[in-house]
A and B are shown apart, each in its own frame.
Chain A
Amino acid sequence: MLVAGRLLLIFALAIAVYGVIASLYGARRRNAPAGARGRSGRAWIDSGRRAVYALTGTVVVCFALLEVAFLRSDFSFELVATHSSTTTPAFYRATAAWSSQEGSLLLWILLLSSWSSLILYLTRRRAREIAPYATAVLLGLAAFFLCLLVFLESPFGRLSPVPVEGTGLNPILRHPAMMIHPPMLYSGYTLFTVPFAFAVGALVTRRLGADWIRTTRPFALAAWLCLGIGVVLGARWSYSELGWGGYWAWDGVENAALMPWLTGTAFLHSVMIQERRGMLKVWNVSLILATGILAVLGTFLVRSGILESIHAFGASTLGVPFLLLIVTMVAGSIALVVWRADDLRSEHRLDSLLSREAVFLLNNLVLVALCFVVFWGTFFPLISEAVTGRQASVGPPWFGRYVVPLALVLVLLSGLGPVVAWRRATAANLKRVLALPIAAAAVMLVVLVVAGDVAGRPAALIMFCLAAFVLAVVGQEFWRGVRARRAMSDDSVPRALMSLVRRNRRRYGGYVVHAGIAVLFVGIAASTAFQDVRDVRLAPGERTRVAGYEIAYARATGRLAVAPNGSLEKIDLGARLLVRRDGGEPATLRPERSYFPSNNPELGALSRYFEGEATSEVGLRSGLRRDLWTVVSPDVEGLLAIARRGDEVFSEAGSLPRAERAVALGEALRRMVARYRADAPPATFRILVSPLVTWIWLGALIVFAGGLIALWPVPAGAPRRAMAGYAARVARELGRA
Chain B
Amino acid sequence: MLVVIALAVALIVAPLRTGRAAADEAAESAERAELDAAKEAKYREIREAELDYRTGKLSHEDWRALDAGLRAEAIDLLRRLDALGEPDREP
Contact = CB atoms under 8 A, between A and B. Distances in A.
Interface of A: 4, 7-8, 11, 15, 18-19, 34, 37-40, 42-47, 50-51, 53-54, 57-58, 61, 124-130, 205, 207, 209-211, 213-214, 275-276, 419-426, 428-429, 432-433, 477, 480-481, 484, 487-488, 503-504, 507, 726-727, 729-730, 733-734, 737
A504 B46 contact: no
Contacts of A426: 59, 62
Contacts of A43: 15-16, 18-21
A327 B67 CA distance: 47
Given A39-B19, A128-B28, A214-B41, 4 more contacts: A38-B20, A43-B16, A47-B14, A54-B8
B75 interface: yes
B64 interface: no
Nearest to B90: A42
B25 A429 contact: no
A668 B19 CA distance: 76
B34 A207 contact: yes
Given A42-B20, A734-B43, A128 B30 contact: yes
B37 A210 contact: yes
22 contacts: A8-B1, A8-B4, A8-B5, A37-B19, A40-B19, A43-B16, A43-B21, A44-B15, A44-B16, A46-B21, A47-B14, A57-B4, A126-B33, A130-B30, A207-B34, A211-B37, A419-B57, A423-B66, A433-B55, A480-B54, A480-B55, A734-B43
B8 A57 contact: yes
A228 to B, nearest CB: 24
A127 B33 contact: yes
B78 A726 contact: yes
Contact of A487 (B8, B33, B52, B54): B54
B40 A4 contact: no
Nearest to B76: A726
A210 B38 contact: yes
Interface residues of B, number: 52
Contacts of B58: 421, 425, 429
B7 A57 contact: yes
Nearest to B49: A422
B52 A421 contact: yes
Given A39-B19, A210-B37, A726 B79 contact: yes
The 10 A-B pairs with the shortest beta carbon distances in the complex, nearest first, are A38-B19, A484-B54, A54-B8, A480-B55, A46-B15, A210-B37, A421-B57, A42-B21, A209-B34, A275-B41
Interface secondary structure of A, over-half rule: helix
Contacts of B59: 426, 428-429
Interface in B43-91: 43-49, 51-52, 54-59, 62, 66, 71, 74-75, 78-79, 90
B51 A504 contact: yes
Nearest to B33: A211
B15 A47 contact: yes
B45 to A, nearest CB: 5
A481 B51 contact: yes
Contacts of B38: 209-210
A40 B48 CA distance: 44
Contacts of B27: 125, 128
A40 B11 CA distance: 17
A477 B51 CA distance: 10
Nearest to A11: B5
B74 A40 contact: no
Nearest to A737: B43
A419 B52 CA distance: 9
Contacts of B51: 481, 484, 504, 507
A419 B7 CA distance: 55
Nearest to A351: B66
A202 B40 CA distance: 19
Contact of B75 (A45, A127, A488, A727): A727
A64 to B, nearest CB: 11
A125 B25 contact: yes
Nearest to B3: A61
A275 B30 CA distance: 16
A322 B25 CA distance: 39
Contacts of A129: 30
Contacts of B41: 210, 214, 275-276
B19 A54 contact: no
Contact of A54 (B12, B25, B74): B12
A696 B74 CA distance: 43
A134 to B, nearest CB: 14
Given A38-B19, A507-B48, A425 B57 contact: yes
A737 B47 contact: yes
Contacts of B56: 429, 432-433, 480
A228 B71 CA distance: 38
Given A423-B66, A425-B57, A730-B78, A58 B16 contact: no
Contact of B15 (A50, A126, A130): A50
A686 to B, nearest CB: 50
Nearest to A500: B51
B52 A422 contact: yes
B25 to A, nearest CB: 6
A43 B45 CA distance: 39
A114 to B, nearest CB: 15
Contacts of A130: 30
Contacts of A275: 37, 41, 44
A481 B49 contact: no
Nearest to B38: A210
Given A58-B8, A210-B34, A40 B40 contact: no
B12 A730 contact: no
B7 to A, nearest CB: 7
Given A8-B4, A207-B30, A507-B48, A733 B12 contact: no
Contacts of A503: 47
B55 A481 contact: yes
Given A422-B52, A433-B57, A730-B75, A50 B21 contact: no
A126 B28 contact: yes
Contacts of B25: 124-125
A10 to B, nearest CB: 11
Nearest to A731: B71
B50 to A, nearest CB: 9
Contacts of B75: 726-727, 730
